[in-house]
Amino acid sequence: MRVNADQPVAVVTGGNRGVGREVCRQLSLLGFMVVLGSRDLRRGELAAKELDPEGNRIIACQLEVDNSVSVASMAEWVKNQLGRTDVLVNNASTVYDRWATASSADLGTVAEAIDVNLFGPWRVIDALLPMLRSSTRPRIVNVSSEGGSISVMTGGSPAYSVS
Ligand SMILES: NC(=O)c1ccc[n+]([C@@H]2O[C@H](COP(=O)([O-])OP(=O)(O)OC[C@H]3O[C@@H](n4cnc5c(N)ncnc54)[C@H](OP(=O)(O)O)[C@@H]3O)[C@@H](O)[C@H]2O)c1
């Protein structure tokens, strides 16, 4: 995959479905070379193929944000293949524990959510920061949720809300 020297590169986490998939589609239409991060590479490749059948605007990359080795490999791969990162969209998130409340929460589930939803973006930012710092127009977009808003927090969905 070749990228023009002036073509911006965007990395999207959890790009194989949902909001992330649509973000990949729209960024590609805006002229970005999009790295569609997916923890299951095959699912990522399928999504990339559906969105960009010619395969010259969206490329899938294995990325599991709660796995430091996977995050480091992704950053290395982007550096070697594309040479730059201008935009990072931290979109991936783990299950929405609608069934739980703070007083009955399984703290193991909460810890897993924090590893994906809080430390995940943090890991990916750390790994891509050197390339982002080299960009003339770097952007980091951390996708959040009203569920994480303190003003509307009730104690429901504790793992999702807190993380
Ligand atoms: N949908 C909404 O109404 C809504 C509202 C407010 C905010 N948001 C926010 O928007 C973002 C996307 O939401 P969504 O509804 O599109 O979610 P979704 O459909 O559940 O998709 C979540 C994505 O994150 C990926 N993911 C989960 N764990 C991961 C991990 N450990 N490493 C890498 N990727 C992982 C999933 O991969 P797999 O396919 O492998 O599971 C999937 O691609 C989230 O940050 C969410 O909080 C959504």
Q: CATH no. for residue 69?
A: 3.40.50.720
Separation CA 19–CA 66 (nearest Å): 19
Collect the ranges in the chain with pLDDT lower than 50: none
The pLDDT value recorded for residue 1 is 63
Question: Which ligand 1 atom lies nearest to the CA of residue 64?
Answer: 32
Q: Is the minimum distance from the CB of 95 to ligand 1 under 6 angstroms?
A: no
Ligand 1 mutation pick, 70, 93, 123, max ligand atoms within 8 A of CB: 93
Distances (CA, A) of 101 to 96, 108, 113, 117, 138: 12, 14, 14, 18, 38
Q: Which amino acid residue places its CA nearest to atom 5 of ligand 1? A: 145
Q: Please report whether residue 162 resides in a domain.
A: no
Q: Which amino acid residue places its CA nearest to atom 8 of ligand 1? A: 145
The pLDDT value recorded for residue 48 is 98
Side chain identity at 22, as an amino acid letter? E
The pLDDT value recorded for residue 125 is 98
Q: Please report whether residue 87 resides in a domain.
A: yes
The pLDDT value recorded for residue 153 is 86
Q: Which amino acid residue places its CA nearest to atom 4 of ligand 1? A: 145
**What is the pTM (predicted TM-score) of this model?**
0.97
The pLDDT value recorded for residue 6 is 81
Q: Please report whether residue 84 resides in a domain.
A: yes
Q: Please report whether residue 163 resides in a domain.
A: no
Domains contained in the chain, number: 1
Q: Please report whether residue 142 resides in a domain.
A: yes
Q: Is the minimum distance from the CB of 141 to ligand 1 under 6 angstroms?
A: no
Separation CA 58–CA 35 (nearest Å): 6
Q: Please report whether residue 21 resides in a domain.
A: yes
Helix (H/G/I), strand (E/B), else coil: 98: coil
Spacing of C-alpha 55 from chain mean position: 20
Q: Is the minimum distance from the CB of 28 to ligand 1 under 6 angstroms?
A: no
* Gyration radius from the chain CA atoms: 16
* Domain ranges, residue 13: 9-98+123-146
Q: Please report whether residue 80 resides in a domain.
A: yes
The tens digit of pLDDT for each residue in 107-137 reads: 999 999 999 999 999 999 999 999 999 999 9
Helix (H/G/I), strand (E/B), else coil: 83: coil
Q: Please report whether residue 15 resides in a domain.
A: yes
Sign of CA dihedral 30, 90, 141, 85: negative
